[in-house]
Amino acid sequence: MIEVSIIGATGYTGAELLRLLSNHKEVEVKYITSRKEEGKHVFKVHPHLKGIKKYENLYFTNDLDKIDADLIFTATPHGASMEIVPDFIERGIKVIDLSGDYRFEDISLYEKYYKIKHKGLVDAKIAYGLPELHRKEIKEAQLVANPGCFPTGCILAVAPLVKEKIIEERIIFDSKTGVSGAGINPTETTHFPNVNENINPYKITTHRHTPEIEKELKKLGNVKVSFTPHLAPITRGILTTAHTFLVENLDREGIIKIYEKFYKDEIFIRIFSEEIPKLTWVRGTNFCDIGGFEIDEHNRLVIISAIDNLVKGASGQAIQNMNIMFGFDEKEGLFNVGLHP
Amino acid sequence: MIEVSIIGATGYTGAELLRLLSNHKEVEVKYITSRKEEGKHVFKVHPHLKGIKKYENLYFTNDLDKIDADLIFTATPHGASMEIVPDFIERGIKVIDLSGDYRFEDISLYEKYYKIKHKGLVDAKIAYGLPELHRKEIKEAQLVANPGCFPTGCILAVAPLVKEKIIEERIIFDSKTGVSGAGINPTETTHFPNVNENINPYKITTHRHTPEIEKELKKLGNVKVSFTPHLAPITRGILTTAHTFLVENLDREGIIKIYEKFYKDEIFIRIFSEEIPKLTWVRGTNFCDIGGFEIDEHNRLVIISAIDNLVKGASGQAIQNMNIMFGFDEKEGLFNVGLHP
Amino acid sequence: MIEVSIIGATGYTGAELLRLLSNHKEVEVKYITSRKEEGKHVFKVHPHLKGIKKYENLYFTNDLDKIDADLIFTATPHGASMEIVPDFIERGIKVIDLSGDYRFEDISLYEKYYKIKHKGLVDAKIAYGLPELHRKEIKEAQLVANPGCFPTGCILAVAPLVKEKIIEERIIFDSKTGVSGAGINPTETTHFPNVNENINPYKITTHRHTPEIEKELKKLGNVKVSFTPHLAPITRGILTTAHTFLVENLDREGIIKIYEKFYKDEIFIRIFSEEIPKLTWVRGTNFCDIGGFEIDEHNRLVIISAIDNLVKGASGQAIQNMNIMFGFDEKEGLFNVGLHP
Amino acid sequence: MIEVSIIGATGYTGAELLRLLSNHKEVEVKYITSRKEEGKHVFKVHPHLKGIKKYENLYFTNDLDKIDADLIFTATPHGASMEIVPDFIERGIKVIDLSGDYRFEDISLYEKYYKIKHKGLVDAKIAYGLPELHRKEIKEAQLVANPGCFPTGCILAVAPLVKEKIIEERIIFDSKTGVSGAGINPTETTHFPNVNENINPYKITTHRHTPEIEKELKKLGNVKVSFTPHLAPITRGILTTAHTFLVENLDREGIIKIYEKFYKDEIFIRIFSEEIPKLTWVRGTNFCDIGGFEIDEHNRLVIISAIDNLVKGASGQAIQNMNIMFGFDEKEGLFNVGLHP
């Protein structure tokens, strides 16, 4: 049994950590923090958690100095994590950071896309927390940078192709995301009448997840990543349509075999050779479902991936990373069935 | 560990039983039946279940004669259950029937509203499977008639008021339901362009859940039940607005106390004295959230209840009933956090 | 040809006035005002209007002193209208006010529900702008108080019953509204993940449209109005389910006849004797569709009304009022077909 | 004033023709046909049309022999049009066919993708009814093949680029469509719980609109078209994200200028140089809004187009074609404001 604390537990990813940890046998939640909700009971801020025995004495605090734990999740905004993580690291605490602050080995890339001056990486082992590609580093890391939601779905969709070098460099990711990805705070972007009956492309060529996807895929092979996200009138889920171009004459079955081999030990990757993945199949779960595998007359190979942006795209993956770091069963707290329909 | 079988496991309630039982420690699923999908693997028909070890060897059968189990769930249409349940009962098998066939002690009421000639009740103890009102009978029953989705939300919303005789006889239930309540088969009613951007009242005064609500509430006190359902552009959930009229001069706090007392040992009833219940808070769970408790200038008292129609309104309640019948922990397989947002 | 100006033309009702007036043959739009968008072209703030020749030279101003016109629409928040309307009235300009400020003959009722000190009614003929009940007063008024969205759908749903005195005093309105009714500014209430997959009751017994409905119906007969609104995951439309109780032994056909007679000359009221009204049938139009007319075993008579909250519930009705005030064809600019599906 | 008849007026495109023609000053609707609804009044089948004076005596017929008119719209399924169109053509009637039957000059391409044996083209001038590219041919044609919904949005999105030869041959269209595109008949695909909270890619590389897009663009330049449609939980609209690759070093402004020049006389094309087009801006209208024009680091140029699939993607474009064929004002019956929000 370990103790964990969550910095920034009022938002969607914080709440989702609490939802998933409520079933986790090896974890107690010690502290949860919030600037705005200090002193409030967790059920007051997150009424859907009401009834969870484990949380009956859990109140929000804002006193970061007293926070300790075996592991701290920082569900803080970009730029805020780097203000607090170094101290935790120094105190010997393991950290899983859900922000973008530690995702880039090359902080100049971060600074270019996040338009924030970086305070520098910490003096500890950092891993990029995508278990399917970096399980060994995660196991040994003190700090895990939890991947972005889009990168998770995009990278997993094409990693086998890039590694096998059977596609052209140029990859186009056309992603459709649910609105929970925009966070818990209301904005014009999340205003119901603006979202409903619309599909809204945004940051068409400038989304900061683009370099994250590209730098990770480059570890596997040569790529030039183009990425465009769209906000869809759904709450949870990211469906990614990856448009790639085959350089070799491979058929559908051959490609499916490559995926099945690449992911053969991965319990959270489901390969669908017949059905097309649906977001409701992964809803609430840590699965990344992959399907499509169709080739058109111009050698375009289309891969479809589906994740729940708040689970495999954020809090679920963070818990998967925790399970790896502490040697727990990797699916503890996570192995659920998608809430379909 | 018991063995259960599910008759009619291709629809939404069958799939939901499989979803919930996948986490149930005391249950193995032995047979699942289907006329259309005979021979198919369960993952082929319900791809969202893929990866569940427990179901790796589970195929649909259509041979009802060979079905046995400690408990059988009949997730069959109204009228079909009474064709098969008597045989199971005779063979000494316990049955939880999710259809309307055994919900009425007075079969003439059934015949009037379902327009089906009833074959007669079985020679065994039958209980109406609403644990909050009939836990003792359920424990002793061989056949449990699982309540309708609307009745579950409506009855639980007002039972304390009826029992305490503090409201007038006349109760108006205005319910809003998700489309999954209409089943897995596409119809004009469930056609997306007909549902989307609409709120569709239907069977405005003639829904067959009306007599079910009324006959149950009459066990607690005098009532005249008026009920109108509306189809809303959501997938899961029933929100019921119960309009009642106080006969006594009670204030909001007094009423909340009555509810808290009435439901004090009920783990699946959550009373919200401040927040108004939200469907996403109960989504995927067996909770019935109750709130509102507001009184207007004309002595109208409004109670709001929220359930997931496929869980507390169907399969979750069926599992709760099973847990009671077999002496398992009542929340086994069921105690989850609502998938909010 | 008359000139109109719109005070507060950045919100949904302002934009809807512009949408409808774009087709109006008798009207030029002279000024549109905004505090925030001063100086901007109308197409910049409302891109969906792009291409309308009539508006090619229309810019937002914030100089209220220079505003003149034959008619001014004040699409201003409650409390703001009474600051500016008296001056326009004094200058002899006709005004249609879309706020609640002039809807109550008895301003103490306004003050009780709006929690605003009223500055007093103006010295001019004021009409409550529901043409089906007050066409004559509207024709003669200098100031028309455009009705609230809920009151429009509720009052029209039961006016014939109240007038004919065939129902009990007690009427329960259970209304379901689209999110555009909450306005153009993002709030927690309109945040997509809070609305989607939910039906959210609000101001369950305290909505300020309640006294507006009641005081209007009282002009026709004795009533005690109970009203509960719900926010539904749709953008436009209000569906109202009116639960009434018959005092006389009338059948469905008799009731339909009463409605057909009461509304026989009303071009924007459509009585559906067979189909149940759908919000998409009235979407974008000035219709109020009325149907239901079903009676249950406890003498409850249910009436369903459907309107587009931004048209018949706001801007469309304002234009209908303008047409009446200036002697134009009452349907000019308004007679459209609902955008179904 | 001309007379038109509609073959197959029960579906969405037929209903949409009736909606738009209700405002058309130059057109009377003479006959509407249906196999299933023969003898019924148009308001019975399409209740949202109720109140339209023009249609008060309009009943469905099934007697195709008696149909005459100056123009016939065939809103019939693929394969059905070619059974009836030749006879109309022979009788000298002008025809606008909304099916795919006459869209291909090369019928072998049709046969390959539609898997139907073609009966042969008619002996009359046929035009592909995309006015922005073929206005002159449309004017002279006796038979106009109305374009598919996806082709309309895709072709218009990139035509200027292809003509100017500033992009590579390879173009990827990733389209997101509303469910009304799937027609009025309920199927598993359109079942609300399957659509809601999902984005469903389908016919990922095999949609029959692909060759239609390609053969049209090939008239302007060399292209290799890749196309993937997705079903989104919205009713109306197609948003297309066109991923192209620049061969020349052009900047955003230069590209926008090319578009503004190419479409300078087109009243139904709106170029948005700043805002990103939204489906609700074109909802109910014949506009094709075009925007995006962003270039990423790998020379990818993204163009976004938005249409209402039932208007510019079907019935609106058909009426635009009719206006051209008969010399009416091209925007008669069509120039509306999008129903936003």
Q: What is the pLDDT of residue C86?
A: 97
Euclidean distance between CA atoms A115 and D33, whole angstroms = 62
Query: Is D179 part of the contact surface with chain B (CB cutoff 8 Å)?
Result: yes
Q: What is the pLDDT of residue B12?
A: 98
Q: What is the pLDDT of residue B255?
A: 98
* Residues of C assigned a catalytic role: 149
Euclidean distance between CA atoms A84 and A67, whole angstroms = 11
Q: What is the pLDDT of residues D296-321, one digit of tens each?
A: 999 999 999 999 999 999 999 999 99
- What band does B130 get if pLDDT is binned at 50, 70 and 90? very high
**Closest by Cβ to A198, choosing from D172, D278, D297:** D278
Residues in chain C closer than 8 A to D291 (CB atoms): none
Q: What is the pLDDT of residue B228?
A: 98
Percent of chain A with pLDDT over 70: 100
Question: Are D187 and B186 inside 8 Å of each other by CB?
Answer: yes
Asked if the model's pLDDT at residue D69 lies above 90, the reply is yes
Q: What is the pLDDT of residue D249?
A: 87
Euclidean distance between CA atoms A90 and B215, whole angstroms = 67
Q: What is the pLDDT of residues C87-130, one digit of tens each?
A: 999 999 999 999 999 999 999 999 999 999 999 999 999 999 99
Query: Is B193 part of the contact surface with chain C (CB cutoff 8 Å)?
Result: yes
Query: Is B235 part of the contact surface with chain D (CB cutoff 8 Å)?
Result: yes
Mean of per-residue pLDDT scores for chain A = 97
Interface B–D counts its CB contacts (< 8 A) at 53
On whether the CB atoms of residues A128 and A215 are closer than 8 A, the answer is: no
Euclidean distance between CA atoms A73 and A96, whole angstroms = 5
Residues in chain A closer than 8 A to B19 (CB atoms): 337, 339
Asked if the model's pLDDT at residue D327 lies above 90, the reply is yes
- Mean pLDDT of the region D63-84: 95
- What band does D335 get if pLDDT is binned at 50, 70 and 90? confident
Asked if the model's pLDDT at residue D336 lies above 90, the reply is no
Query: Is A263 part of the contact surface with chain B (CB cutoff 8 Å)?
Result: no
Determine the residue among C185, C187, C192, C234 to mutate to test chain A binding: the one whose Cβ has the most chain A Cβ atoms within 10 Å: C192
DSSP B92-112: T-EEEE-SSTTS-SSHHHHHH
Question: Are B191 and D184 inside 8 Å of each other by CB?
Answer: yes
Give the end-to-end CA distance of chain C in Å, rounded to a whole number. Answer: 35
Residues in chain C closer than 8 A to A187 (CB atoms): 186
- What band does C335 get if pLDDT is binned at 50, 70 and 90? confident
- What band does C279 get if pLDDT is binned at 50, 70 and 90? very high
Query: Is A265 part of the contact surface with chain B (CB cutoff 8 Å)?
Result: no
> Using alpha carbons only, what angle is made at residue D328 by residues D326 and D333, rounded to the nearest 5 degrees?
115
Asked if the model's pLDDT at residue B14 lies above 90, the reply is yes
Q: What is the pLDDT of residues B176-203, one digit of tens each?
A: 999 999 999 999 999 999 999 999 999 9
Residue D79 sits at φ, ψ, to 5 deg, of 90, -30
Determine the residue among D167, D188, D199 to mutate to test chain A binding: the one whose Cβ has the most chain A Cβ atoms within 10 Å: D199
Query: Is C186 part of the contact surface with chain D (CB cutoff 8 Å)?
Result: no
Query: Is D239 part of the contact surface with chain A (CB cutoff 8 Å)?
Result: yes
Give CA separation, A43 vs A48, A55, A214, C193, in Å: 7, 8, 40, 19
Q: What is the pLDDT of residues D271-294, one digit of tens each?
A: 999 999 999 999 999 999 999 999
Query: Is C281 part of the contact surface with chain D (CB cutoff 8 Å)?
Result: yes
**Closest by Cβ to A243, choosing from D226, D280, D296:** D226
Question: Are D196 and B190 inside 8 Å of each other by CB?
Answer: no
Q: What is the pLDDT of residue D107?
A: 95
**Closest by Cβ to A341, choosing from D193, D230, D300:** D193
Query: Is A228 part of the contact surface with chain C (CB cutoff 8 Å)?
Result: no
Query: Is D110 part of the contact surface with chain C (CB cutoff 8 Å)?
Result: no
Per-residue burial over B126-164, b if 16 or more Cβ lie within 10 Å, else e, is: bbbbbbbbbbebbbebbbbbbbbbbbbbbbbbbbbbbeb
Query: Is A239 part of the contact surface with chain D (CB cutoff 8 Å)?
Result: yes
Q: What is the pLDDT of residue C260?
A: 98
Asked if the model's pLDDT at residue D84 lies above 90, the reply is yes
User: What's the token pair of residue B244?
Assistant: 């009642």
Query: Is A280 part of the contact surface with chain B (CB cutoff 8 Å)?
Result: yes
| Closest chain A CA to residue C235 | A193
Q: Is D149 a known active-site residue?
A: yes
Question: Are B201 and C292 inside 8 Å of each other by CB?
Answer: yes
Give CA separation, A50 vs A75, A197, B289, B329, B338, in Å: 21, 33, 10, 19, 10
**Closest by Cβ to B340, choosing from A48, A278, A337:** A48
Q: What is the pLDDT of residue A334?
A: 95
| Closest chain B CA to residue D232 | B192
Question: Are C281 and D337 inside 8 Å of each other by CB?
Answer: no
Query: Is D24 part of the contact surface with chain C (CB cutoff 8 Å)?
Result: no
Question: Are C179 and A193 inside 8 Å of each other by CB?
Answer: yes
- What band does D76 get if pLDDT is binned at 50, 70 and 90? very high
User: Using the 8-state DSSP alphabet, how is residue B307 labeled?
Assistant: E
| 10-residue mean pLDDT series, chain A (341 residues) | 97 98 96 96 97 96 92 96 97 97 97 96 96 98 98 98 98 98 97 98 98 98 98 98 95 98 98 98 98 97 98 98 98 93 97
Domains of chain C: 2-147+313-325 (3.40.50.720), 149-309 (3.30.360.10)
* Residues of B assigned a catalytic role: 149
Asked if the model's pLDDT at residue D331 lies above 90, the reply is yes
Residues in chain A closer than 8 A to C234 (CB atoms): 196
Residue B337 sits at φ, ψ, to 5 deg, of -100, 140
Report the amino acid identity of residue C96. Answer: I
Residues in chain C closer than 8 A to D236 (CB atoms): 339, 341
- Furthest-apart CA pair in chain B: how many Å? 62
Question: Are D337 and C49 inside 8 Å of each other by CB?
Answer: yes
Neighbouring chains of A at 3+ CB pairs under 8 Å are B, C, D
Catalytic residue among D149, D223, D238, D301: D149
Q: What is the pLDDT of residues C136-194, one digit of tens each?
A: 999 999 999 999 999 999 999 999 999 999 999 999 999 999 999 999 999 999 999 99
Q: What is the pLDDT of residues D182-208, one digit of tens each?
A: 999 999 999 999 999 999 999 999 999
Interface confidence (ipTM) of the complex: 0.97
Identify which of D296, D277, D303 has the alpha carbon closest to the alpha carbon of residue D171.
Answer: D303
Q: What is the pLDDT of residue D219?
A: 98
| Closest chain B CA to residue C201 | B276
On whether the CB atoms of residues A4 and A21 are closer than 8 A, the answer is: yes
Interface C–D counts its CB contacts (< 8 A) at 69
Question: Are D281 and C52 inside 8 Å of each other by CB?
Answer: no
Determine the residue among C180, C298, C308 to mutate to test chain B binding: the one whose Cβ has the most chain B Cβ atoms within 10 Å: C298
Chain A closest CA to C292's CA: distance in Å?
A: 28
Query: Is C234 part of the contact surface with chain A (CB cutoff 8 Å)?
Result: yes
- Mean pLDDT of the region C205-230: 98
Q: What is the pLDDT of residues B39-93, one digit of tens each?
A: 999 999 999 999 999 999 999 999 998 998 999 999 999 999 999 999 999 999 9
**Closest by Cβ to A12, choosing from B12, B15, B341:** B341
DSSP D137-174: HHHH-SEEEPPPHHHHHHHHHHHHHHHHT-B-SEEEEE
Report the amino acid identity of residue C93. Answer: I
- What band does C336 get if pLDDT is binned at 50, 70 and 90? confident
Q: What is the pLDDT of residue D174?
A: 98
User: Using the 8-state DSSP alphabet, how is residue A99 labeled?
Assistant: S
Neighbouring chains of B at 3+ CB pairs under 8 Å are A, C, D
Query: Is B180 part of the contact surface with chain A (CB cutoff 8 Å)?
Result: yes
Euclidean distance between CA atoms C240 and C230, whole angstroms = 10
Question: Are C292 and B204 inside 8 Å of each other by CB?
Answer: yes
- What band does C259 get if pLDDT is binned at 50, 70 and 90? very high
| Closest chain C CA to residue B295 | C205
On whether the CB atoms of residues C309 and C177 are closer than 8 A, the answer is: yes
Helix residue ranges per DSSP H, chain C: 12-21, 42-45, 81-90, 107-114, 131-140, 149-164, 192-195, 209-218, 252-262, 279-282, 316-325
